[in-house]
Amino acid sequence: MFELNTKRLLANAARADTLELMDRVTVLREHLEAEALEIAEAELARRGITPEEIAAHGRKWKHRVLRDENGMVWCCSWCGRAAVAEEIGWHRWLGLIPIWRRRYRYCETHWRQYHPEAPWA
């Protein structure tokens, strides 16, 4: 087993986007250590996010996130939020030359950013 680095967890929570923290304490909750969960909840409270807002976020997203066959929630390829869409694309060397095909997973924000013309999945 490994030890959690509390200082690192606190710094990570302080840097994290509010939606990412809300994902952590709702749809990613079962995958977090108790101490990490407490830190994320405390950071949300410090930001003025109420337990009712957190619960509403969980209700909205719990059935929309992508999971593997074991129930593990997949995260966005670009950030730490839970993924809600997936596609196969090219991994590109230097952002230009296609090297191999790979899966890209997207949170709602990144799906809209990379697919502005596409309807929401």
Q: How many residues does the chain have?
A: 121
Helix (H), strand (E) counts: the chain = 5, 2
pLDDT tens digits, 21-80: 999 999 999 888 899 999 999 999 999 999 999 999 999 999 999 999 998 999 999 988
pLDDT tens digits, 50-61: 999 999 999 999
The model's pTM: 0.77
pLDDT tens digits, 99-113: 999 999 999 999 999
Phi, psi of 81 (to 5 degrees): -75, 160
